[in-house]
Structure 1
Amino acid sequence: MAKYRMVRTEFWKNPIVSETMTPEDKYFYLYLLTNPHTTQIGIYRITKKQMAFDLGYTIESVHSLMERFIEHHKLIRYNPVTRELAIKNWGKDNLHKGGKPVMDCINSELKEVEDLSLISYVSETILKDEIRSLYESFCKQDLEREVSDQDEHDTYPDTEYDEVDDTFMHQNTIRGQKENEKEKEKEKEKEKQQQQKAFNPNIENNPEIEDQSQNQKSKDVKEMIEFWDNNGFGFSNVNAKQQLLSWLDDSSFLQPKDILVKAMTIACANNKRRLNYVIGILKNWENESLLTVEEIDAYQEDQKPIPKHKQSTETFPAGRAIPSGFELDLTAGEE
């Protein structure tokens, strides 16, 4: 059965929409409210790749818009693990009528949500008590699950993890996993920044460095995509490009963009324009702890085979030549 969504005319009177959103923001917000994946509860599963396909945008553009709506407008939340998106004001704008059919539909859809923290997020703006109470009942289940997980770990301690921080014990919940992943990402980013500072001692504390870093990252992404598209790796292979671009942030390289371009150049030289071939090169360099282009060049130079000297076919006499007609007398000098 075809699904339809109606956007109220009040949408255009909302100060956030009329005063703070760009035309692109409004287009994206209307898509989030009306795309075919929306549900009755304001929480649905969708990938960034699907959004990019529907909107005709690149993955990078969708990623930027998502960050803008999460951090700046604060209108949505997105769980990258479960691929679930929640719209903050969905309940205020859409959940006004109760009744058994509506409540049964909401209850059925809430049961499908994996990240229960998103249910709590949407429930905050629901005005109708009956519907908000149904949402909150699932929030209580989330809390009970966390307590149950903690009790289970307390009852059956694993000595192997005695020295691990207590926050590790909450990883069985989606929220715990997400927080732990964020902490790991922060630690990894901090370590990478320290390595980059050691590699380039001319970098000083400067309030503009963060903005410069973001601008440089945008330039790096653009250069990577242009190299990929212009060298036959597959213009429409968006997923492969996205995976390769993740190496800009997730690798231990000190010069990630230059090293990625070098790996793609090698792939072109060997006529192996495939993502797995490029990643194989990058993993080999990481395994050898080669973190800069200079280290890679030096390593490759050392790996070149030593050329064997060409053996001469010309023969040379050992000592002076013996005159023709000479006879050796073995008895000479015995008397």
Structure 2
Amino acid sequence: MAIYRQVQTSIWADNWVGSLSPEEKLVWIYVMTNSRTRQCGVYEFAMRYAVVDTGLTEQAIESAMEKFQTDRKLLLSKSNDEILIINWLKYNSARSPKVAAVIDKEIADIKTKEFADAVIDECHKLKYPIKKIKASEDTVSIPYAYSIDTGSQEEPEPEQQPEPEQQPTEEAGGVGADDLTDIFQAWENVWGTMSPLTQEKLRDWAKDFEHKTVIEAISRADANNKAFSYAEGILRRWDKSGIHTMAQVVLDDQKHEAAVQQRQYGNKPRKQLLTNQPAWADPNYKSKPAEPTDSATRAKLEAEMAKLRANREKRHEEQKKRREENAK
């Protein structure tokens, strides 16, 4: 199965990324997208592979990694050859129980205890449904400002923290950020980890539909055990019919139900058809007691029954003879 790593297109508008040299930009993209990355944001970094994959020298990669640490973008444990990408979990959602289960497994494989504790703390902070807890709650978690490998590098001078940027409350096209989060979570609850391409598709759909309508299409695909393409087909049909809100969806469902009944029962209302049903179909129907018959009528009926029995026995005998003749 293909593995995707999410890199938002807005990365190229980021001031920090814009300040990097071409080599540093390549290393940063490599750090986030190479085949050894994991869902938890901690993985073993192999310099020999990085040199081959990027085509850069070891010195150039080490210089870039040192800058990333100084700028508080990642942490490095040289003793375990592991790195932790800060804010990875913030931009790679683990709200889906399936994704959270993957992170639980990965945490057990993290060699650097401080990194494992940092991942657990961040997941709890973001309210991701992981089951792991820190081995010891009295352990002091690592500060993001420094590398784990404190013995091999000097502690950086504290610098003034920039004002945190306000997160936009709405996306382009008037889509609320919370609404998009609900849509993404609904998708991940059904199909697991979301690729960047799928995320862009959902953003586009959310621009044209009320967010609850997009979630409803996902729910209907899930109810029918279908893929996301099924939900997209529903959205395309609604869009073609001018349906973009849940109120319009409900009205469309009612019209569809009325059309189905029209095809089944014609112009007559269903209640009228039920009133024309035979008396014995009524749940409260009680059969009338049989009227007594006289002796002559009974004798006639018995004669008819005797004649029928005789004819039946005669047919059975004829069939038996034919079978015996065919068997010879």
Decide: shared fold, TM above 0.5. Answer: no
When Rg is computed on C-alpha atoms for both structures, the one with the higher figure is: 2
TM-score (norm: length of structure 2): 0.40
Q: Structure with the greater relative contact order (CA < 8 A, sep ≥ 6): 1 or 2?
A: 2
